[in-house]
Amino acid sequence: MLRFVRVSALLVLVCLISGSLPRASAADSKNLDSFAKCLSQKQVKMYGLFWCTHCAEQKDLFGSSFNYVTYVECGVPGTRRATDECKNAGIKHTPTWSFADGTRKEGKLSLEDLAKQSGCKLP
């Protein structure tokens, strides 16, 4: 029994050191509603696909506040095809963030990067 406790403690320690235990996301520790609303007010959009893991990770950074982000779904339900809206917008990779000045950033962005690019203030 003592050996089991030691092995378990060692495994927990290894997980803590490697960072593989689940951690609270930024959305868990602060309310991002005002930040997400600001992004929408400044015409920032996220283009994504429902099957895209990086898109899901990006959404998770916002938690429930993602409901306030302007999001364009590029996937046609039940298929792996892109919508005409995303094809016409020239979306090649997701997530893609578009900004009011016409710039685009592909890939998952940190909240800090989104704040810097948009001028919106993080809480």
pLDDT at 65: 97
The model's pLDDT over 60-119, given as tens digits with 9 standing for 90+, comes to: 999 999 999 999 999 999 998 999 999 999 999 999 999 999 999 999 999 999 999 999
The CATH code of the domain at 31-117 is 3.40.30.10
**Stretch 28-32: mean pLDDT:** 67
CA distance 17 to 92: 37
The model's pLDDT over 42-58, given as tens digits with 9 standing for 90+, comes to: 999 999 999 999 999 99
pLDDT at 30: 62
Q: Are strands 96-98 and 45-48 parallel, antiparallel or unpaired?
A: antiparallel
| Closest C-alpha among 105, 91, 2 to residue 44 | 105
Half-sphere exposure of residue 77: CA atoms within 13 angstroms, side-chain side: 0
Q: Where are the domains of the chain?
A: 31-117
pLDDT at 66: 97
